[in-house]
Chains A and B, each alone.
Chain A
Amino acid sequence: MLEITLFYIAATIALVATVLAMTRANAIHALIYLIVSLLAVAVIFFLIGAPFAAALEIVIYAGAIMVLFVFVIMMLNLGEEGDARERGLLQPSIWAGPTVLSLLLFAELLYMISTIEGPVSTQAVSAKEVGLALFGPYVLAVEIAAMLLLAGLVGSFHLGRRYLEREE
């Protein structure tokens, strides 16, 4: 029962933190909430028997990627004016339509998942199994992921280098 209770707590934290992250005017505040949300999701991963995924979630998502965000936000030095601006933009006239669309989509998804029954497996999937599958049948996907990362590396280097050059 403990796990189930933990799951609901983590889920609530994740949802609340995400909503807050989406509605903050200050980028750093939003980022902090987002990290909270990601950590909560990591807890859920842990609870449903995917400890390796949980670890990756913390290390890469909440760690590396979010740190990247922090760096960039610090570099841009947005300040108070930006916050005021962002706050001014969060008006009902702006979010009413998108909210309706989101709710519609959510309703549809809800209808789809309502047909699914049963709990998740009691058998946890260990890192070993994941590793075996990854370099077994999924080796091609690994290659593709590697290519993607390389492309991302080259792309970000190209974009960032020009930015720095202009600054000089």
Chain B
Amino acid sequence: MEGLNIPLNHILLVSTLLFSIGMLGLMIRRNIIFILMSLEVMLNAAALAFVAAGAHWGQPDGQIIFMLILTVAAAEVAVGLGLVLQVQRRFKTLDMDSANRMRG
């Protein structure tokens, strides 16, 4: 498989846009499931940037970092969804603003 002449900064532009959209979602959504989804989008955007950079230099390191990001995403989703269950049980809602009581 051969990568062709796709300009690097265009790929990075896509990655940046994805990251910004994910961040926007993170900021405007209150439902914890959407928050987790936004995080996935942001992680994915970062992964895209890594892979693109790796492809630019013809090195495998970018893909390796992508795999590590994948691992992080998997672990985060596993724990995060466990938390979603707990939040639902405790507050009877997924709205994070209603779970704002801090107890030390």
- Touch between A and B in complex, CB under 8 Å? yes
A contact residues around B28 at 8 Å (CB): 22, 90, 94-95, 98-99
Minimum CB–CB distance from A48 to chain B (whole Å) comes to 4
List chain A residues, Cβ under 8 A from B88: 76
B13-46 residues with Cβ-Cβ distance < 8 A to A are 13-14, 16-25, 27-31, 33-34, 36-38, 40-41, 44
Contacts of B83 in A (CB 8 A): 159
Known: A27-B34, A149-B75. A11 touches B81 (CB 8 A): no
Nearest A residue to B36, CB-CB: A69
Q: Are B81 and A68 in contact (CB under 8 A)?
A: yes
Is B1 in contact with A124, judged by CB distance below 8 angstroms? yes
Task: State whether A76 touches B11 (Cβ < 8 A).
Answer: no
A85 to B22, CA, bound (A): 21
Range, interface on chain A: 35 or more
- Which of chain A's residues 122-158 have a Cβ closer than 8 Å to chain B? 122-125, 129-130, 132-134, 138, 141, 145, 148-149, 151-153, 155-158
Report B's interface with A, CB cutoff 8 A.
1-14, 16-25, 27-31, 33-34, 36-38, 40-41, 44, 47-48, 51-52, 54-64, 66-68, 70-79, 81-86, 88-89, 94-95
Chain A positions within 8 Å of B, measured between CB atoms, are 3-4, 7, 11, 14-15, 18-19, 21-22, 27, 30-31, 34, 37-38, 41, 44-53, 56, 60-61, 64-65, 68-69, 72-73, 75-76, 78, 82, 85-86, 89-90, 94-95, 97-99, 101-103, 105-106, 109-110, 113-114, 116-125, 129-130, 132-134, 138, 141, 145, 148-149, 151-153, 155-160, 162-163, 166-167
